[in-house]
Amino acid sequence: MPLKQKLYEIIFEADTPKGKLFDVTLLVIILISILLVVLESVPSINARHHDLLRIMEWVITGIFSIEYLVRILVVKRPLKYVTSFYGIIDLLAVVPTYLSLIFVGSQSLAVIRAIRLLRIFRIFKLNRYTMAGKNLAMAMKASREKIFVFLFFVINVVLIVGTLMYLIEGPENGFTSIPTSIYWAIVTMTTVGYGDISPQTPTGQFLASALMIAGYAIIAVPTGIVTAEMIRTSNQTNTQVCPHCLYDKHENDALFCKKCGGKLN
Amino acid sequence: MPLKQKLYEIIFEADTPKGKLFDVTLLVIILISILLVVLESVPSINARHHDLLRIMEWVITGIFSIEYLVRILVVKRPLKYVTSFYGIIDLLAVVPTYLSLIFVGSQSLAVIRAIRLLRIFRIFKLNRYTMAGKNLAMAMKASREKIFVFLFFVINVVLIVGTLMYLIEGPENGFTSIPTSIYWAIVTMTTVGYGDISPQTPTGQFLASALMIAGYAIIAVPTGIVTAEMIRTSNQTNTQVCPHCLYDKHENDALFCKKCGGKLN
Amino acid sequence: MPLKQKLYEIIFEADTPKGKLFDVTLLVIILISILLVVLESVPSINARHHDLLRIMEWVITGIFSIEYLVRILVVKRPLKYVTSFYGIIDLLAVVPTYLSLIFVGSQSLAVIRAIRLLRIFRIFKLNRYTMAGKNLAMAMKASREKIFVFLFFVINVVLIVGTLMYLIEGPENGFTSIPTSIYWAIVTMTTVGYGDISPQTPTGQFLASALMIAGYAIIAVPTGIVTAEMIRTSNQTNTQVCPHCLYDKHENDALFCKKCGGKLN
Amino acid sequence: MPLKQKLYEIIFEADTPKGKLFDVTLLVIILISILLVVLESVPSINARHHDLLRIMEWVITGIFSIEYLVRILVVKRPLKYVTSFYGIIDLLAVVPTYLSLIFVGSQSLAVIRAIRLLRIFRIFKLNRYTMAGKNLAMAMKASREKIFVFLFFVINVVLIVGTLMYLIEGPENGFTSIPTSIYWAIVTMTTVGYGDISPQTPTGQFLASALMIAGYAIIAVPTGIVTAEMIRTSNQTNTQVCPHCLYDKHENDALFCKKCGGKLN
């Protein structure tokens, strides 16, 4: 087997022991590199270990750069890899460090490497997790019209309530402009409630109360949408109809109709 | 085709290329006008561009006013349009600017134009979104008794807990009156939690804890109501009509009419 | 018809025009009396209208007292009424005002009158609302073991996390005692988040983050419990089984089996 | 019956009157001991009753220690008990007090005794509560892949948004480091919203708004997962065993075995 194919199997597949070892090593390096970026931003740690952190950061970036180039070299259709989701993420994982030579601080963006951890699902029982992910994505996609209508409604409410609060409370109570008031309305309706801005006048508090109860109650809407969709998709996995009694809600592992005992085919 | 009908098709329908172009142009102008209103409220932007913003605001109001008048002229039954939901919104979209000549600041109310954006659903695949909207509204309507009972319960709880907290904590801890305490109870029960008022005495903190856990748990109630209703309505999207008795509300898995026993085809 | 029975019909029933008028009048007086209690607690309003508010409060208490006595007189089994839920609420609605002669401020407790508003459901289409209420109560009751297990779990988590935070953060960061820390844990886990106490040390913030994500995710548990129960109870209203094909999930208005077209009996 | 077996029945079982009495007594002592630990942490109470609290704490620890030793002596397979869940909890319940001789303050960890309260379910209708608990655990277990995928998604979002906010807002607005920013992102996305850190720049507020709406909407995902799973498991409470092929996982509405087509009775 030529070197190129050997490397391909190690780097792109996780079935062989070497391929598995490669993936696990990669995951550990990714985790370390995220930790490095995070730690570098902590002033007290950066002050003491700045040089060490920078060196390690460059070493890891070097490893990732070489890995990226090797991937391009060994894959059959390099262009397809480069423009694929994983290819773009692999590139974005090294760019911030090089960019930090020009723009100070941009190395923090290297946390995007976290997305590379998606490969983790390749190692352990790939199938079950991607199935779970696909089911979630499917339920989301099937309900996207309802979610769009819901978001349209939410945006309208925060826009109008935000403006009303700006008129009611005014700049003297922290509602300095309509964008700020809209920000407050979002903070309130989503039940986050920082408290950096809060209504002071009775009218404002009354309107805010109505917004809170609305936000508290309408969380039921996206929940209902997604739940109904998930139940629907989880019921759709078996489409068999009993030829004897026409019953059509069979579980995936059913061999005989649970209603009449007839054989399913 | 007379001019009146031509204009009617362009303004009120979105099937012809010209009608589509009109709707898209209108949406863009609406978005710009909302942006104008929002930006005008930001002190730093208003200070620099006040005149420009005012002029643009009046230009757009002029466009909307002319559009409103043309709509009345070309529609077959003007009174029906004027008193319809869209007719009222179209009028409310221009009133605030004129009103601002008398009441300073009332131009902010022009954000109500956001509701005009509802026309967006006319442009892209109208049907799927209005269906989604109708399904949501139907689920809401079908569960309005349960939601009413739920809200009655919530209002009673915040009323009674608010009063108790006023007696327990008192004005010295920020619970200055019963309305303020009720406002706090709503802020707490909906899990918003600004923190502008918070209990200081052990008894108050204990009662507050109970209210929080209650609020945290009973969110399950509206969620359960709406979800159960959505699952039910999603089973009734069947548009089949029984050929024997003309009954038309069949569940998705119906093979025979539940009213006359006739076969559905 | 003797006076006693006439009064009984007016006071206890809502079918006759007079009975309806009585109930509506009562509801209006209850709402006014709650408003009075609430307004009296606002210092600025109380300062100006103290005497008026007190007089009106006593007038309403007088009306309620007479009404309570008349209810006892005209009802067939007075003891049953007095010890019934409504009887106790009717009594508690007048007690706080009399009590305020001894304990200053206890008149605020008169907000308990809000519960009297339950009679509102008697006036408008009684049946649909009590049905809705009963359905909710039934779903709650059926899932009480699961909710109990869930609450046991929640209380254990806030107890243990609260203690850990007291040890980690300590009094210098606002976690002055274990009860206070437990209060903080409840505020955090229920996603209320006042911010009056918040972790300052990295370890504390890490533990707090874990608690937040736990609290955010496990809200799914009561929601799931109640929703599953509501779907189950809403499916249980028709227990008919088709005698021809044994299908057993018919809607309430089904006359024929939707699976085989056979007649249901 | 020898003493050892008598003691075993009293301590480990709850069927005999003596066994019940033992369990109830134990629960009361556990509750008292938790109360002691909690109260000891309140400065004002500790200042006045320090000695009393310490003595009672040691008495209870003595009782628990003796109980633990007796449990080991009377049980048939001591090692199995010691390494069981209950055995470990019983040990952890006494360790903190002894540890407090070396590490001051560690007695607070004795709140772990709360877990011992699990025995409460043994006393009242054991079965229904453990069933409820098992159902909950089963639903959780069945949806663990989806929950894992969901958590992976959440962690990635808070990591990336946290880093972006650190770059946008910077240390001058309270986002002192990436770990702090991630902490803020978790506080925001879970809708806790302390307000100890909050965005000040328009860009930061915009990104925060997007995060809030995302957090508000995607709570629907775990809710949907768990609810769908609970509905599915609540359909599998059927304990029938097929008399023909001994298959035992039938749905509630099954009339025939789905594995062999044999009739269930």
Per-residue model confidence as pLDDT tens digits over A95-112 = 888 988 888 777 788 888
Q: Sort out which chain C residues have CB atoms less than 8 A from D106's CB and list them.
A: 167
C234 at D interface, C-beta within 8 A:
no
Which of B239-248, D84-93, D97-106 shows the lowest mean pLDDT across its residues?
B239-248
Task: Give the per-residue pLDDT at B210.
Answer: 93
Residue type at C154?
A: V
Task: Give the per-residue pLDDT at A125.
Answer: 56
Look-up of token digits 């986050």: A192
**Orientation angle between helical segments C178-189 and D17-40, nearest 10 degrees:** 100
- Distance between alpha carbon C193 and the CA centroid of its chain, in Å? 24
Task: Give the per-residue pLDDT at D125.
Answer: 56
Q: DSSP secondary structure string, C39-108?
A: HHTSHHHHHHHHHHHHHHHHHHHHHHHHHHHHHHHHSSSHHHHHTSHHHHHHHHTTHHHHHTTTSTTGGG
Calculate how close chain D gets to B223, using CA atoms only, in Å: 9
Calculate how close chain B gets to C97, using CA atoms only, in Å: 15
Average pLDDT score over chain B: 84
- Cβ pairs A/B, distance under 8 A: 138
Mean pLDDT of B51-80: 91
By the 8 A CB rule, do B49 and B43 touch?
no
Q: Sort out which chain D residues have CB atoms less than 8 A from B206's CB and list them.
A: none
Mean pLDDT of D190-198: 91
pTM: 0.86
- Distance between alpha carbon D178 and the CA centroid of its chain, in Å? 30
Question: Is A159 within 8 Å of B255 when comparing Cβ atoms?
Answer: no
Distance, CA of B148 to CA of B222 (rounded, Å) = 10
Task: Give the per-residue pLDDT at D179.
Answer: 93
- Chain segment B134-159, per-residue pLDDT in tens: 777 777 787 777 788 888 889 999 99
Question: Is C193 within 8 Å of D193 when comparing Cβ atoms?
Answer: yes
Contact partners, residue D7, CB within 8 Å, separation at least 6: D70, D73, D74
Distance in Å from the first CA to the final CA of chain D: 43
Look-up of token digits 């607690």: C41
Task: Give the per-residue pLDDT at C35.
Answer: 92
Residue D107, pLDDT > 90, answer: no
Residue C236, pLDDT > 60, answer: no
Q: Which of D206, D227, D229, D230 to mutate to test the interface with B (most CBs of B within 10 A)?
A: D227
Higher model confidence: residue B26 or residue B218? Answer: B26
Mean pLDDT of A46-60: 91
Task: Give the per-residue pLDDT at D134.
Answer: 77
Look-up of token digits 């309140």: D42
Task: Give the per-residue pLDDT at D181.
Answer: 94
Band of pLDDT at residue D238, cut at 50, 70 and 90: low
**Residue C253 has which token pair?**
């208005």
Mean pLDDT of A36-62: 91
C263 forms bridges with which residues in the sheet? C256
Question: Is A260 within 8 Å of C246 when comparing Cβ atoms?
Answer: yes
Name the burial class of residue C52, with classes exposed (0-12), middle (13-18) and buried (19+) by CB atoms within 10 angstroms of its CB: exposed
Distance, CA of D94 to CA of D143 (rounded, Å) = 36
Which of A137-146, B139-148, B204-213, D121-130 shows the lowest mean pLDDT across its residues?
D121-130
Task: Give the per-residue pLDDT at B146.
Answer: 79
By the 8 A CB rule, do D19 and D13 touch?
yes
Q: What percent of chain A has pLDDT over 70?
A: 90
Task: Give the per-residue pLDDT at C207.
Answer: 95
Question: Is A146 within 8 Å of B136 when comparing Cβ atoms?
Answer: yes
All CATH 1.20.120.350 domain ranges in chain D, comma separated: 3-125
By the 8 A CB rule, do B194 and C124 touch?
no
Mean pLDDT of D50-75: 92
- Chain segment C59-77, per-residue pLDDT in tens: 999 999 999 999 999 888 8
Q: What percent of chain D has pLDDT over 90?
A: 32
Q: Sort out which chain C residues have CB atoms less than 8 A from A195's CB and list them.
A: 194-195
Band of pLDDT at residue B59, cut at 50, 70 and 90: very high
Higher model confidence: residue D252 or residue D141? Answer: D141
Band of pLDDT at residue B241, cut at 50, 70 and 90: confident
Strands (E), A178-223: none
Higher model confidence: residue C151 or residue B134? Answer: C151
Q: For residues D214-225, b (16+ Cβ closer than 10 Å) or e, as one string?
A: bbbbbbbbbbbb
By the 8 A CB rule, do C194 and B192 touch?
no
D105 at B interface, C-beta within 8 A:
no
Q: Sort out which chain B residues have CB atoms less than 8 A from A221's CB and list them.
A: 136, 226
CATH topology of domain B3-125: Four Helix Bundle (Hemerythrin (Met), subunit A) (1.20.120)
Task: Give the per-residue pLDDT at A67.
Answer: 92
Which of A100-109, B91-100, B180-189, B235-244 shows the lowest mean pLDDT across its residues?
B235-244
Task: Give the per-residue pLDDT at A249.
Answer: 65
Band of pLDDT at residue D112, cut at 50, 70 and 90: confident
Residue B30, pLDDT > 70, answer: yes
In the structure, how many helices (H) and strands (E) does chain B have?
Answer: 12, 0
Mean pLDDT of B236-259: 68
Question: Is D255 within 8 Å of C246 when comparing Cβ atoms?
Answer: yes
Distance, CA of C109 to CA of B35 (rounded, Å) = 49
Mean pLDDT of C109-131: 73
Distance, CA of A207 to CA of A175 (rounded, Å) = 14
- Of A237-246, C121-130, C164-173, where does the model show the most confidence? C164-173
Mean pLDDT of B57-70: 92
Residue A245, pLDDT > 70, answer: yes
Mean pLDDT of C151-180: 91
Average pLDDT score over chain D: 84
Residue C237, pLDDT > 70, answer: no
Question: Is B179 within 8 Å of C38 when comparing Cβ atoms?
Answer: yes
Residue C232, pLDDT > 80, answer: no
With contact defined as 3+ CB pairs under 8 Å, the chains touching B are: A, C, D
Which of A1-15, A212-226, B116-130 shows the lowest mean pLDDT across its residues?
B116-130
- DSSP type of residue D202: H
Q: Which of A38, A196, A219, A227 to mutate to test the interface with C (most CBs of C within 10 A)?
A: A227
Decide: helix, strand or coil at residue A1: coil
Band of pLDDT at residue C249, cut at 50, 70 and 90: low
**Interface subset of D 130-149, CB within 8 angstroms of C:** 131-133, 135-136, 139, 147
**Residue C206 has which token pair?**
């890490």
Distance, CA of C34 to CA of C158 (rounded, Å) = 36
Task: Give the per-residue pLDDT at D250.
Answer: 67
Distance, CA of A263 to CA of A251 (rounded, Å) = 14
Q: Sort out which chain C residues have CB atoms less than 8 A from D141's CB and list them.
A: none
Look-up of token digits 């066994």: D19
Task: Give the per-residue pLDDT at B69.
Answer: 93
- Of D194, D212, D259, which has the smallest distance from its Cβ to A187's Cβ? D212
Question: Is A247 within 8 Å of C259 when comparing Cβ atoms?
Answer: yes
Band of pLDDT at residue D225, cut at 50, 70 and 90: confident
- Chain segment D17-61, per-residue pLDDT in tens: 888 888 889 889 999 989 998 998 898 998 999 899 989 999 999
Band of pLDDT at residue B251, cut at 50, 70 and 90: low
How many Cβ atoms are within 10 Å of A50's Cβ, its own excluded? Answer: 11
Question: Is C195 within 8 Å of D190 when comparing Cβ atoms?
Answer: no
For D220, nearest residue in chain B (alpha carbons): B223
Mean pLDDT of A113-132: 71
D191 at B interface, C-beta within 8 A:
yes
A231 at D interface, C-beta within 8 A:
yes
Average pLDDT score over chain A: 84
Calculate how close chain C gets to B131, using CA atoms only, in Å: 23
**Interface subset of D 44-103, CB within 8 angstroms of C:** none
Residue B186, pLDDT > 90, answer: yes
- Of B152, B166, B256, which has the smallest distance from its Cβ to C258's Cβ? B256
Residue D122, pLDDT > 80, answer: no
All CATH 1.10.287.70 domain ranges in chain A, comma separated: 141-233
Question: Is A231 within 8 Å of B231 when comparing Cβ atoms?
Answer: yes
Phi/psi for C100 (5° steps) reads: -65, -15
A243 at B interface, C-beta within 8 A:
no
Q: What percent of chain B has pLDDT over 70?
A: 90
Which of A43-47, C129-133, C215-219 shows the lowest mean pLDDT across its residues?
C129-133
Residue A238, pLDDT > 60, answer: no
For A37, nearest residue in chain D (alpha carbons): D178
For D188, nearest residue in chain B (alpha carbons): B192
Band of pLDDT at residue C123, cut at 50, 70 and 90: low
Mean pLDDT of B74-94: 89
How many Cβ atoms are within 10 Å of C170's Cβ, its own excluded? Answer: 16
By the 8 A CB rule, do A240 and A253 touch?
no
Q: Which of D37, D41, D135, D211 to mutate to test the interface with C (most CBs of C within 10 A)?
A: D41
Closest CA to B197 of B224, B221, B172: B172
Distance, CA of D145 to CA of A132 (rounded, Å) = 6
Task: Give me the count of residues in chain A.
Answer: 265
**Residue B53 has which token pair?**
């913003």
Instruction: Give the CATH class of A141-233.
Output: mainly alpha
Calculate how close chain B gets to D247, using CA atoms only, in Å: 28
Q: Sort out which chain A residues have CB atoms less than 8 A from D198's CB and list them.
A: 194, 196
Closest CA to C155 of A234, D34, A49: D34
Indicate the Cα dihedral angle B196, B199, B201, B202, nearest 10°.
-140
